[in-house]
Amino acid sequence: MKTKQKNSILFLAFLLFFNSFYTHANDAIKNSDPEKDKILIYVLKNILTRGHFVVKDMNDDFSEQVFKSFIDGLDPSKRYFTQEDIKEFSKYKYEIDNQLLTDDVSFYNLVYGSFTEKIKNARSYYGELLAQPFNFKKQETIDLDFEKVPFAKNENELINYWRKQLKLNTLSRVQDKLDKQEDKAKKDKNYQKKSFKVLEKEARAEVLKNMDELYLRIEELEHEDWFSTFLNSVVGAFDPHTTYMAPRIKERFDQDMSGKLEGIGARLLKKGIYTEIFELVSGGPAWKQGELEAGDIILEVAQGELEPLDIVGMRLDDAIKFIKGKKGTEVRLTVKKKLDGSTKIISIIRDVVELEETFVKSTIVEKEGKKYGLIDLPRFYIDFADSNSRDSAKDMEKEIARLKEENVSGLLIDLRNNGGGSLKTAIEIAGLFIKTGPIVQVKYRGQDPVVKNDVDPKIQWDGSIVVLVNELSASASEIFAAAMQDYGRAVVIGGNQTYGKGTVQSVIPINNFYPNYEKDLGAIKMTIQKFYRVNGGSTQIEGVYSDIAMPDRYSYMKFGERDVAGALIWDKVPQANYTKTNSYKNFSDVVNNSKERIASDKKFKLINNYAKWLKKNQEDTSYSLNFRKFSEESKLLEKDSKKYTNAFKYQSNLTFKSPQYELPLMKKDSVLADKRNAWHKNLSKDIYVAEALNVLKELKLKDNVEIVKN
């Protein structure tokens, strides 16, 4: 891991984020539809004021919040607007609420109009600045904490902002090239080094290429995308999880929730003007057909025997629309093959494609003569449109049944990085481990909390359970973990606390409120409820505190709901009427033993020190633009970083194996086999899994489980 120059590549990462932001905002500076804009404003303000969990006045404070959010959304790195622009916009700073009440978009039109002009100017700024070498002898710095940096006073200062950002980008690349040269020279005495001048020129050319590609994407953006940014500033003023979803964003959301789509089963990416195959989905139509390969470029798309459509130069989202389609339909792709450059027409019959990595999977590990099951649950998925489709609760029940056939002695449920999903499936999965009883309480605004119960007396697993979480375990993950903790049914181990998203969102198609409008208006994902544990405490802000906390890279970072501006507060409601299982003879002893192991473990101590070091570097947002000083700081930080090179290098003596039912599937599907082998290899190197299994091994169930009334 390089150091300050690697940290300064945060700026490169920021550019990539900027690119991603605009790509996901999706498409151009055209096709304005004033009627549609006004309808969206009218419907959204009525939905929010009547249905959002928080009663919020659309007043001057609200107006100021939207004002700041929209400008920050368009210009997060302060590369476009000046203080003169902000002064002009400020005439509407306390008027946006009044405009919204009358479906007026004057503020948006003013800022958007100015922004489109700024975008046109940007190419000349960076093109001219990158045409000449930078002066790396000059003593100057740049601060990348854009919250603290003021807007440029005028056009000249704005150009200077651009100069510094591009200079840092170039400087970090030069430093990286020099480091690589040194490494090559050490290995090869005959290696001919390039001069600083040559490397600097190469670096500027690379930055220019990246900037050109970025602005090619920006030029593809449409009015709808920029207006979506404005709408999200409006709805986000209610809370950070309330968002407006344009039609294509809603479509992606549905796919993510269901874990499936209809199409050919290929992941695509944009490379210049071309649409390229990035990866084939294992088991999908393209994978089964066998002719399409990663790296192939799609030139034309035909629907069955119809005339082909040229998609070269088309934005990715539009190309995907033509390639995707209903199950059973034919698509003919004219493809330039990666291997030999030949052109070929490939016919594929579309089908339902299941995104395998979305779904529950399990593995078995033997430890001191006993077998344990590890279940990975990446999200709480469900297809709301098809009740017969697979969902996380059905799959979890099935996976546990398979593991029981293998005679496992305990279950480790891995919820790390699980951002949530369906509350319904979270309740049903929790119900697999208790007889009956409350799982969660949910509360609408102005109403008493409603207790959501598991009503199925069947217990799918009555053995020992450990739940592994981290700071990215959120929402439905926290409901499940909290229920297991409150019942005393499982040990929760992982980061100090989970993410802390204790709010419930409902996705509402906007056309439901304007049914006679023929165009798709998208949807609003709106916060309508808050979660509360059965013990009465909210998971909002606090999340779930682990019974056993293990240090990780996030331990000291600003991370989670508590650090999100505008997040709803923590509160509590009366406790639900539930009965603890108190399943274990030695719960406290096991927890204490684990804490002692973690506290004395050299690897965990190193990880903890690494987390502190990361926090320190996160707070240092200032970078020297003098080459000598930049290089010195880079080398100093690189020296410090070497202390933590081995922080996450770990190898257990554990061997993970797929359950019996999966073995014939892996024989037929080499891609699945490769994915499982890679997963098992990573698990054997996972110190958190190793400690969680230590805990699972030590847990002892009571002979007669004592029920303690709460």
Read off the pLDDT of residues 180-196 as tens digits, 9 standing for 90 and up: 898 888 888 888 999 99
Please say if the pLDDT value at position 3 is more than 60. no
- Among 375, 527, 528, 535, which residue's Cα sits nearest to residue 439? 535
Average pLDDT of the chain, as a whole number: 87
| Torsion angle of C-alpha atoms 39, 45, 48, 50, degrees rounded to 10 | -100
Residue 499 · residue 474 · CB < 8 Å: yes
- Chain-centre distance for alpha carbon 665: 30
**Residue 91: domain span:** 4-238
Q: How far apart are CA 471 and CA 698, in angstroms?
A: 25
Q: Both 27 and 102 in a single domain?
A: yes
Please say if the pLDDT value at position 254 is more than 50. yes
Q: Both 211 and 338 in a single domain?
A: no
Please say if the pLDDT value at position 25 is more than 50. no
Radius of gyration of the CA atoms of the chain, in A: 28
- Among 53, 51, 47, which residue's Cα sits nearest to residue 502? 53
**pLDDT bracket for residue 704 (50, 70, 90):** low
**pLDDT bracket for residue 257 (50, 70, 90):** low
Q: C-alpha angle 449/453/454, rounded to 5°?
A: 165
Q: How far apart are CA 574 and CA 588, in angstroms?
A: 27
Check residues 299 and 692 and name the one with the higher pLDDT. 692
Strand positions, DSSP E, 188-273: 243-245, 260-263, 266-271
Q: How far apart are CA 576 and CA 450, in angstroms?
A: 10
Q: What percent of the chain is modeled with pLDDT above 70?
A: 92
Residue 545 · residue 538 · CB < 8 Å: no
Among the candidates 207, 238, 269, a domain finishes at: 238
Half-sphere exposure of 408 (CA within 13 A, CB side): 31
Is 252 inside a domain boundary? no
pLDDT of residue 31: 53
Q: How far apart are CA 405 and CA 362, in angstroms?
A: 13
Is 232 inside a domain boundary? yes
Dihedral sign for Cα atoms in the order 72, 74, 80, 85? negative
Q: Both 491 and 638 in a single domain?
A: yes
Q: Both 114 and 169 in a single domain?
A: yes
Residue 265 · residue 353 · CB < 8 Å: yes
Segment 143-154 shows an average pLDDT of 91
Is 249 inside a domain boundary? no
Please say if the pLDDT value at position 633 is more than 60. yes
**pLDDT bracket for residue 450 (50, 70, 90):** very high
**pLDDT bracket for residue 326 (50, 70, 90):** confident
Q: How far apart are CA 594 and CA 541, in angstroms?
A: 26
List Cβ neighbours of 225 (8 Å cut-off, separation of 6 or more): 22, 25, 26, 27, 28, 246
Q: For residue 274, list its beta bridge partners.
A: 271
Residue 580 · residue 707 · CB < 8 Å: yes
Q: How far apart are CA 554 and CA 648, in angstroms?
A: 13
Among the candidates 329, 354, 379, a domain finishes at: 354
Q: How far apart are CA 414 and CA 394, in angstroms?
A: 17
Q: How far apart are CA 11 and CA 561, in angstroms?
A: 24
Among the candidates 354, 383, 416, a domain finishes at: 354
Residue 621 · residue 11 · CB < 8 Å: no
User: Can you give the length of the chain in residues?
Assistant: 710
Q: Both 282 and 189 in a single domain?
A: no
pLDDT of residue 518: 85
**pLDDT bracket for residue 29 (50, 70, 90):** very low
In three-state secondary structure terms, 291 is: coil
Q: Both 536 and 569 in a single domain?
A: yes
Is 253 inside a domain boundary? no
Q: Both 267 and 202 in a single domain?
A: no
Q: Both 347 and 362 in a single domain?
A: no
Dihedral sign for Cα atoms in the order 328, 333, 339, 340? positive
pLDDT of residue 126: 92
Please count the structural domains in the chain.
Answer: 3
Please say if the pLDDT value at position 272 is more than 80. no
Q: Both 155 and 95 in a single domain?
A: yes
User: Poorest-confidence range of 176-185, 275-284, 482-491, 507-516?
Assistant: 275-284
pLDDT digits (tens, 9 = 90+) for 354-390: 666 678 999 999 999 999 999 999 999 888 777 788 8
Q: Both 421 and 278 in a single domain?
A: no
Q: Both 277 and 233 in a single domain?
A: no
Is 34 inside a domain boundary? yes
> What is the CATH classification number for the domain harbouring 416?
3.90.226.10
Q: How far apart are CA 215 and CA 120, in angstroms?
A: 9
DSSP 3-state percent helix, strand, coil across the chain (nearest 5): 45, 20, 35
pLDDT of residue 645: 87
Is 243 inside a domain boundary? no
pLDDT digits (tens, 9 = 90+) for 643-697: 888 989 999 999 999 999 999 999 988 878 888 998 999 999 999 999 999 999 9
pLDDT of residue 155: 92
pLDDT of residue 258: 53
pLDDT digits (tens, 9 = 90+) for 83-108: 999 999 999 999 999 999 999 999 99
> What is the CATH classification number for the domain harbouring 344?
2.30.42.10
List Cβ neighbours of 582 (8 Å cut-off, separation of 6 or more): 488, 702, 705, 706, 707, 708
Please say if the pLDDT value at position 20 is more than 90. no
Check residues 425 and 617 and name the one with the higher pLDDT. 425
Is 413 inside a domain boundary? yes
Q: Both 289 and 194 in a single domain?
A: no
Phi, psi (degrees; rounded to nearest 5) at 379 = -165, 165
Which active-site residues does the annotation give? 475, 486, 501
Residue 85 · residue 70 · CB < 8 Å: no
Please say if the pLDDT value at position 251 is more than 90. no
Segment 116-132 shows an average pLDDT of 90
Please say if the pLDDT value at position 14 is more than 50. no
Segment 158-174 shows an average pLDDT of 93
pLDDT of residue 614: 87
Q: How far apart are CA 577 and CA 436, in angstroms?
A: 12
| Torsion angle of C-alpha atoms 61, 62, 65, 67, degrees rounded to 10 | -100
Q: How far apart are CA 37 and CA 33, in angstroms?
A: 6
Is 251 inside a domain boundary? no
pLDDT of residue 162: 94
Q: Which amino acid is at 236?
A: G
pLDDT digits (tens, 9 = 90+) for 507-557: 889 999 888 888 889 899 999 999 999 999 999 999 999 999 999 988 988
